[in-house]
Structure 1
Amino acid sequence: MTKIEVNGAVLAYDEVGTGSPVVLLHAGIADRRMWRKQIDVLADRHRVIALDLRGYGESELPPTPFSHHDDVVGLLDALDLPQAALVGCSFGGAVAIDTALAHPDRVSALALFGTAVSGHEWSDQTNELWEDLVGDVDPEDFAATAAGEVRFWVVGPERTPEQVDPELLAFATAMDERALAAELALSAVDVVELNPPAAGRLGELRVPVLVTAGAADVPDIRQLADRIAAEAPQATRLPDVPDAAHLLPLERPTPTNTALLTFLT
């Protein structure tokens, strides 16, 4: 693990390999550890940087306004990298898209797994699924909230916990409890969003885009993958990965790594 000052905050990241640079951006229920099954595989061909976004994992959160997409470019500046391919999952995918829109000359490609999109409003169907699977939880009870989020996102609405690797569930729960503490702290800081948001601007993306999702993920996520593929001019939509939900790269590393190596090459 290395730490570096970016835009007034000290951010933590892992870096391995040499070659064309690739930055890995984690889900909002996770941290950079979710990429543990990708880093070494990609490092055979690429300079791989797995970042803890500001406030998450081991990255600091000073009480000053900031934007995640500017932090990504700040990291590239600090590492003297003119461009990088961005790989994102969920919230990390949304940050990757925002970065490509805000700083189009700094991003060479986007690979998106179960991605969110800034400005997207969750459907009634997804909100109803949350109520059915999770219900009301005390947001200050990190253990209960993490259990609910892991049930919703990592297990998914079409599976039961018994159908999912218990080690994956335990690791995801531990990451999510830490991420919930990060989100509580972030709620007290002015996080500057992309304006206008990405939801109405996917057609502006001018880089190759790879997009896929887990077949067991919530419907909105799979539909967002379809939307990105339809609207981004250079997008490739891979089929949904069977028996995988929101943390697709962690749950199904083999198809994830195959897709990444092919796309990034």
Structure 2
Amino acid sequence: MFFDTKGIRLAYDDQGTGLPLVFLHAFPLNRSMWTPQTTALSRQFRTIAMDLRGHGESDAPLWNFSLEQYADDVLALLDHLAIPQAVLVGLSMGGYISLAFSRKYGSRLKGLVLADTRAQADSPEGRTGRFNLAQTAYGKGADAVADIMLSKLLGATSLQQKPELVDSIRHTIRNTPVSGIVVDLMAMADRPDSVAHLRTLACPTLVVVGQEDHTTPLADAHVMATGIPGARLAVIPAAGHLSNLEQPEVFNDLVRTFVEELRAAGD
């Protein structure tokens, strides 16, 4: 399905009924990364997965966008679907967007799942790395980005034992528009630090991290889990940065339990 916001056409899937969960994908992937979650969790909840601008079937304009504008897209989708409140499930870049959404539209949040992400802004070295990756994407294309990103996205266990997952991620990255890759990198490099914002979050929050995640490691998850009032932390063994794909059953169980408790508290 598609909807338009401010001249940009965005794609999304909408399955199931009940409490809405909105899934925000990682860089440089698309909504298909959430298939193990939407397939399983749509039996109990309403699951919505969107292609962020520049990804999947959404438009990929080349411009200097911010993560706040990505958050505006999420709000536009909620408004399009007449959803007053939802649980955001954001992984990596999706987590950055979830934090941006919470700053602007906190009243629309029923809960937050922040997976394999961080609240801190980029370090100077991190910004340089994004600049260099943008130049690689512009000069050599998405194939070269895939070669660089695979070891950052997947843990050692998956890289060694799950060749089909490795091939699937490589294929997704290769099909990501270069404009989307470059715009993402600029937006992520310019995002503000959110550490001070954490203590203002009022909605229930689950922080998830893969034990083998070296891109946003356990220390980053601790910053969020200790900074957000009442947040809980879950560590997934034998998973790297894409913990939802590397250990989908464990990830699903964590989200299911968290959302069931949310629903029960609201009844």
What is the TM-score with the length of structure 2 in the denominator? Answer: 0.84
Q: CA deviation at 1:191?
A: 9.1
Question: Partners of 1:23 and 1:144 in 2: how far apart?
Answer: 30
Once the two structures are overlaid, the 10-residue window that deviates more, 85-94 or 219-228, is: 219-228
Structure 2, unmatched stretches of 5+, are 261-267
Question: Partners of 1:27 and 1:162 in 2: how far apart?
Answer: 18
Matches within 5 A, 1:34-73: 34-62=33-61, 67-73=69-75
Which residue number corresponds to residue 93 of structure 1? 95
Q: CA deviation at 1:162?
A: 5.4
Matches within 5 A, 1:1-265: 2-62=1-61, 67-117=69-119, 119-121=121-123, 138-139=136-137, 140-141=139-140, 142-155=142-155, 159=156, 163-179=160-176, 181-184=178-181, 186=183, 197-218=193-214, 220-238=216-234, 240-265=235-260
Q: CA deviation at 1:188?
A: 11
Cα 1:105–1:193 shift into 2, 3 Å:
farther
**C-alpha contact 1:123 1:220 (8 A) present in aligned 2:** no
SS in 2 for 1:11: strand
Q: Give, as a single letter, the amino acid of the residue that structure 1 aligns with 2:118.
A: A
Cα 1:162–1:94 shift into 2, 3 Å:
closer
Instruction: Give CA deviations for 1:101-140 in whole Å, capped at 9, x if unaligned.
Output: 211111110012112336243778xx99x9xxxx9x9333
Identity of aligned residues (%): 31
Instruction: Give CA deviations for 1:180-239 in whole Å, capped at 9, x if unaligned.
Output: 624345279989966x5423311111111101111111164322210000100121111x
Question: Partners of 2:188 and 2:236 in 1: how far apart?
Answer: 33
Cα 1:228–1:123 shift into 2, 3 Å:
farther
Cα 1:193–1:7 shift into 2, 3 Å:
farther
Cα 1:218–1:30 shift into 2, 3 Å:
same
- Aligned residue pairs total 253
Spell out structure 1 runs of 4+ moving beyond 4 A: 62-66, 187-194
SS in 1 for 2:56: coil
SS in 1 for 2:74: helix
Aligned-residue CA RMSD (Å): 3.1
Q: CA deviation at 1:32?
A: 0.3
SS in 2 for 1:108: strand
Question: Partners of 1:145 and 1:191 in 2: how far apart?
Answer: 16
Cα 1:79–1:112 shift into 2, 3 Å:
same
What is the TM-score with the length of structure 1 in the denominator? Answer: 0.84
Instruction: Give CA deviations for 1:66-113 in whole Å, capped at 9, x if unaligned.
Output: 611111111101111111100011100111121112111111100121
Question: Partners of 2:186 and 2:160 in 1: how far apart?
Answer: 38
SS in 2 for 1:168: helix
Higher helix share: 2
Q: CA deviation at 1:7?
A: 3.2
Q: Give, as a single letter, the amino acid of the residue that structure 1 aligns with 2:168.
A: F
SS in 2 for 1:115: coil
Q: CA deviation at 1:145?
A: 2.2
Cα 1:258–1:160 shift into 2, 3 Å:
closer
Q: CA deviation at 1:166?
A: 0.4
Question: Partners of 1:188 and 1:224 in 2: how far apart?
Answer: 20
Question: Partners of 1:61 and 1:219 in 2: how far apart?
Answer: 25
Structure 1, unmatched stretches of 5+, are none
Q: Give, as a single letter, the amino acid of the residue that structure 1 aligns with 2:91.
A: C
**C-alpha contact 1:122 1:220 (8 A) present in aligned 2:** no
